[in-house]
Amino acid sequence: MTDQHLTAIDVHAWPGLRAVPRDWRLRRRARRAEAEFAHACAEAELDLESERPDLVVEHDELFYRIASSGWLGLAESYMAGEWHAADLHEVLTALLRVGYKPPRGEVVPRTYDGGALPADLVEFSSADGMSLMGGLFESGVPTTVRESMPSYVSGAGHGSEPATHFVDITRVAPPVAVERADLGTAQAGVIRALLDAAEARRGTDVLEYPATGGAVAIAAEERGAHPSAVTADSACAGAMEERLTLAGVTTARTVTMPQPIAPGGVQPAAEAVVSVEYLELLAPGQRAEFMASLDRSLRPGGYCAVQTLAATPEFDAAAQRSLDVLRAYIWPGLEYPTVEEVHRLADQSSRLRVVGQRHFAEHYCLALKMQSECFEGHSREAAAAGFDPVFRRLWRFQFALRRALLDLGRIEAVQFTLTHRRRRGR
């Protein structure tokens, strides 16, 4: 085993990749990790031996990393170029399908500081250059049913507090006959659905909490609404202001907050609030505070649209551990809530209540595939912008991993509609 392939890795940027643990105790565990990995690959029907294998192991450091830190080690080894796959998404899907979970490693969600992804990274990975919120393609047919859901409000089922309430649940059929050129339309479709859920129309004050890059504000102004946004990331605020100026949007305002959650809500309160994929980035201990903040940011009678990737009942231990690399390097607080947990948060931490849900996992998954292809098409620009080979492999890995989790039904994409309780009989 040699480490010459590691010399090109920036030790200051990636100290965990340069330092491969190799003490005598780990050698025995590495041999066991190699055997377990081979067994998992065989069970998953992944070919390691033919002329066209599904994955190729270039360096034995892979097994030392797995022995030391499990799924994180598997991902770090990929980032270091120690193994590669012709179709990374298919390999990760196969390993997760058979429940591959090395015994070591656990990255616990940490408090999220509100930092956003670099603006140029988002630009290289999207059709509109501004958003990474999946997609909703025009070909998917929605079906809506009204279902009775349990109430988690204190005293539910006693006195005048109902035990249940109704939720309009929309499931969007998988997209058909879609091409990569449809990604921009699909990204616009997600934003349109969010603004519709928040009932944003001409004259409506729309708050985006937090800012996601400008696409929501531009779409809100196009329908005659008055958009504003808040963020705890000053670089994100600057990039968004620049994009809005280039788009000719002059009425929107972007405010930088000193912390990721506004304790008393964002003031003045808005008639419509949109929050995109922020809830899952907050550590579990921050979520009740955020839901209460959304409550205080929304005027009485208004609607809040919250999009999140949510864990399903099939979200198992292997899926949980596979997220370690995302927590370690991209989203430190990442923990996918379940749909029930979102309902509990709303009922127990705020005056809000979920009154609608839109499920569109197949659309989101296909959009992720196209976003990954967008990034590959801009790989040279990404390198010129300072994203080194290690980071580019990390970014490919996160796309492939989230696609795998969606394909296997471990997570789903959901847009929740919330409003204050005691409104229109809700």
* pTM confidence score: 0.95
pLDDT for res 424: 43
Q: CB of 287 within 8 A of CB of 279?
A: yes
The segment with the largest mean pLDDT, out of 3-7, 21-25, 70-74, 281-285, is: 70-74
Residue 402 has pLDDT above 80, yes or no: yes
Q: CB of 192 within 8 A of CB of 382?
A: no
Encode pLDDT of 174-186 as tens digits. 999 999 999 999 9
Mean pLDDT of 313-327: 98
Mean pLDDT of 330-350: 97
pLDDT class of 2 with cuts at 50, 70, 90: low
Residue 423 has pLDDT above 80, yes or no: no
pLDDT for res 1: 55
Lay out the sheet containing 205-208: strands in order across: 142-150, 164-172, 352-359, 411-420, 298-311, 270-276, 205-208, 226-231, 253-256
Strand pairing class (411-420; 270-276): unpaired
Residue whose pair of structure tokens reads 């809100």 in the numeric block:
220
Residue 413 has pLDDT above 90, yes or no: yes
Residue 89 has pLDDT above 70, yes or no: yes
pLDDT for res 425: 40
Other Cβ atoms within 10 Å of 419 Cβ, number = 23
Other Cβ atoms within 10 Å of 84 Cβ, number = 13
Q: Which two tokens stand for residue 42?
A: 């065989």
Domains of the chain (ranges; CATH) run 4-97 (no CATH), 119-420 (3.40.50.150)
Q: Which two tokens stand for residue 162?
A: 């109902």
pLDDT class of 397 with cuts at 50, 70, 90: very high
Residue 205 has pLDDT above 60, yes or no: yes
Encode pLDDT of 364-379 as tens digits. 999 999 999 999 999 9
Encode pLDDT of 209-267 as tens digits. 999 999 999 999 999 999 999 999 999 999 999 999 988 888 888 899 999 999 999 99
Residue 426 has pLDDT above 50, yes or no: no
Residue 233 to residues 210, 253, 372, 418, Cα–Cα distance (Å): 9, 15, 24, 26
Q: Which two tokens stand for residue 232?
A: 């705890």
Residue 23 has pLDDT above 80, yes or no: no
Mean pLDDT estimate for the chain: 94
Encode pLDDT of 140-174 as tens digits. 999 999 999 999 998 888 888 899 999 999 999 99
* Of 87-96, 215-224, 251-260, 297-306, the least confident: 251-260
389 cis-preceded (ω within 30 degrees of 0) = no
